[in-house]
């Protein structure tokens, strides 16, 4: 069949593709050390699973309002108030099938051909692809290891043109783990307000913050910043609920109405049972979040100490999320692993590492950062220990 130009040029998600490749090898009986997908290895906490079972038994198995059930919208507003001091009304919430869907809704509601969307590199794989789906153009602005991979206010200001429709900000950031200092956020907000540019603030990793870093929601910087902010968040990462597919936006009412209309035509509503589970995640005890964070903290410390022992790797310590993002270009052009493979870019590096050492990482090329690779430490200590042993040996055989 003849495919539309839109899908012909659309790239598949590189993170999902890398995970699929690792699973394919594992299905052949190979013991693969898997660090590709950014998803917590924990099963969803038991009280949330119980809430889902109760919801099913109570008959919550029907269509829901397209933008989500009132109880979940209220829980999302209450969490925004509790965690960030933010006042939102349920009429400012759209619940979607995961935060990825929320981002798609925002972009579809705001952007079209001729528009520009500013994205700082390294960026999460789906950002540029979702912008391109709307016909708008991603304007990539490079951040550096030296600036901790944080977009600087002057860079933002310089990238704005009359066609700029949106800044996409991800704090803490996937893939770099960068957690923005409050002063940098304030500087970015000042530019956004001065130039009247809306900001999609993807705060899905808001609960995963480590020592020495802090989290500030972009909407909490000033009332003027809040009016321009679209917060994207969800339960996937903080509550280990990736498979339930619940994300949301907190946005000005007019944009919220537009996204509700869009969603009513696209998907009717997010899964009813998952919505009830998400209510319990947000309103229930929060110890599960702290427990998982404690585990991530231990793993992060271990991974960073191991990476620091390997000569030539360059990286910034991640302040949030669960990724280590490091530069391996020092190893290009040198014989690597048992088979003395020579590679000259991150994609070939990841392929060789998987084939030779059975360690699966995601290439930085997918995030607009050649020379880098991403390791997700949302996996067990056992796998991290063996996988890092194998990475170290592959690099210095
Ligand atoms: N934003 C970022 C930065 C992410 O890493 C992810 C990863 N899944 C998402 C959004 C999408 O999350 P969800 O699983 O809720 O769609
Ligand atoms: N966001 C996760 C990641 O970056 C999940 C995969 C995806 O949705 O692309 O690995």
Domain map of the chain by residue range?
Answer: 5-43+288-395, 62-283
Closest residue to atom 12 of ligand 1, CA basis: 99
Residue 39 has pLDDT above 90, yes or no: yes
Is this model's pTM higher than 0.85 or not? yes
Q: What is the pLDDT of residue 196?
A: 98
Report the SS3 class of residue 240: coil
Ligand 1 pocket, mutate which of 123, 128, 174, 203 (most atoms under 8 A from CB): 174
pLDDT of residue 397: 86
Ligand 1 centroid from CA 215, angstroms: 17
**Under a CB-based contact definition with an 8 Å cutoff, are residues 15 and 362 in contact?**
yes
Atom of ligand 2 nearest to the CA of 125: 9
Spell out the residues 6+ positions from residue 148 whose beta carbon is closer than 8 angstroms to its own. Answer: 178, 316, 319
pLDDT tens track for 362-390: 999 999 999 999 999 999 999 999 999 99
Return d(Cα 219, Cα 221) in angstroms, integer. 6
Ligand 2 centroid to Cα of residue 39, in Å, is 7
What pLDDT sits at residue 224? 98
Kindly report the protein residue whose alpha carbon is nearest to atom 3 of ligand 2: 38
Residue 392, H or E segment: helix 381-395
CA of 375 to the centre of ligand 1 (A): 16
DSSP codes joined into one string, 45-60:
PHHHHHHHHHHHHTT-
Which residue's C-alpha comes closest to atom 7 of ligand 1? 38
Ligand 1: which of 204, 206, 322 to mutate, judged by most atoms within 8 Å of the beta carbon?
204
% of the chain beyond a pLDDT of 70: 100
- Which numeric CATH code is attached to 5-43+288-395? 3.90.1150.10
The count of residues in the chain is 397
340 in Cβ contact with 397 (< 8 Å): yes
With a Cβ cut-off of 6 Å, ligand 2 is lined by: 13, 15-16, 37-39, 100, 124-126, 174
CA 43 to ligand 1 centroid distance, Å: 17
Which CATH architecture best describes the domain 62-283?
3-Layer(aba) Sandwich (3.40)
Report the chain's C-alpha Rg in angstroms.
Answer: 21
Looking at the CA of 100, name the nearest ligand.
1
Closest residue CA from atom 9 of ligand 2: 15
Q: Residues lining ligand 1, judged by CB closer than 6 Å?
A: 38, 98-100, 124, 170, 174, 202, 204, 234, 236, 242, 247
- Which of 10, 17, 38, 369 for mutating ligand 2's site (highest number of atoms within 8 Å of CB)? 38
What DSSP string describes 132-178? HHTT-EEEEEE--TTTTT---HHHHHHH--TTEEEEEEESSPTTT--
The per-residue pLDDT for range 175-215, each reduced to its tens digit, is 999 999 999 999 999 999 999 999 999 999 999 999 999 99
CA of 100 to the centre of ligand 1 (A): 5
Helix (H) or strand (E) holding 308: helix 287-309
Between the CA of 19 and the centroid of ligand 2 the distance, in Å, is 10
For a ligand 1 pocket test, name from 13, 94, 124, 125 the mutation site with the most ligand atoms within 8 angstroms of its C-beta: 124
Per-residue pLDDT tens for 280-298? 999 999 999 999 999 999 9
pLDDT surpasses 90 at 344:
yes
How distant, in Å, are the alpha carbons of 31, 114, 291, 316, 366 from that of 303? Answer: 20, 43, 19, 13, 22
Q: How confident is the model at residue 305 (pLDDT cuts 50, 70, 90)?
A: very high
């Amino acid at each position: 069949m003849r495919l539309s130009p839109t899908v012909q040029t659309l790239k598949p998600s590189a993170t999902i593709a890398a995970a699929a490749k690792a699973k394919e090898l594992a299905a052949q009986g190979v013991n693969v050390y898997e660090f590709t997908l950014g998803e917590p290895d924990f099963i969803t906490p038991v009280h949330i699973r119980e809430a889902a079972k109760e919801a099913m038994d109570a008959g919550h198995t029907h269509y829901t309002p397209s933008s989500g059930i009132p109880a979940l919208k209220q829980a999302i507003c209450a969490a925004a108030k509790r965690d960030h001091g933010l006042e939102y009304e349920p009429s400012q919430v759209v619940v979607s099938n995961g935060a990825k869907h929320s981002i798609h809704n925002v972009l579809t509601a705001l952007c079209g051909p001729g528009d520009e969307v500013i994205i700082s590199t390294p960026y999460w794989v789906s950002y540029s692809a979702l912008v391109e789906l709307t016909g708008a153009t991603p304007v990539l602005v490079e951040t550096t290891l030296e600036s901790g991979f944080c977009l600087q206010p002057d860079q933002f200001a310089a990238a704005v043109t009359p066609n700029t429709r949106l800044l996409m900000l991800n704090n803490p950031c996937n893939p770099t783990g960068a957690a923005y200092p409050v002063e940098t956020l304030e500087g970015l907000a000042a530019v956004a307000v001065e130039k009247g540019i809306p900001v999609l603030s993807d705060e899905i990793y808001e609960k995963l913050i480590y020592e020495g870093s802090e989290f500030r929601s972009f909407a909490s910087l000033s009332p003027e910043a809040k009016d321009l902010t679209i917060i994207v968040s969800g339960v996937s990462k903080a509550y280990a609920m990736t498979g339930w597919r619940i994300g949301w936006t907190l946005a000005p009412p007019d944009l919220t109405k537009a996204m509700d209309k869009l969603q009513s035509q696209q998907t009717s509503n997010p899964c009813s049972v998952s919505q009830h589970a998400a209510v319990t995640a947000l309103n229930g005890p929060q110890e599960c979040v702290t427990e998982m964070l404690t585990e991530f903290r231990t793993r992060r410390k271990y991974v960073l100490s191991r990476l620091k022992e390997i000569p030539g790797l360059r990286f910034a310590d991640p302040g949030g999320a669960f990724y280590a993002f490091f530069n391996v270009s020092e190893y290009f052009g040198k014989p690597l692993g048992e088979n003395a493979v020579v590679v000259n870019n991150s994609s070939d590096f990841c392929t060789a590492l998987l084939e030779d050492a059975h360690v699966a990482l995601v290439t930085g090329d997918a995030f607009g950062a050649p020379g880098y690779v991403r390791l997700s430490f949302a996996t067990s200590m056992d796998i991290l220990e063996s996988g890092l042993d194998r990475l170290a040996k592959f690099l210095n055989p």
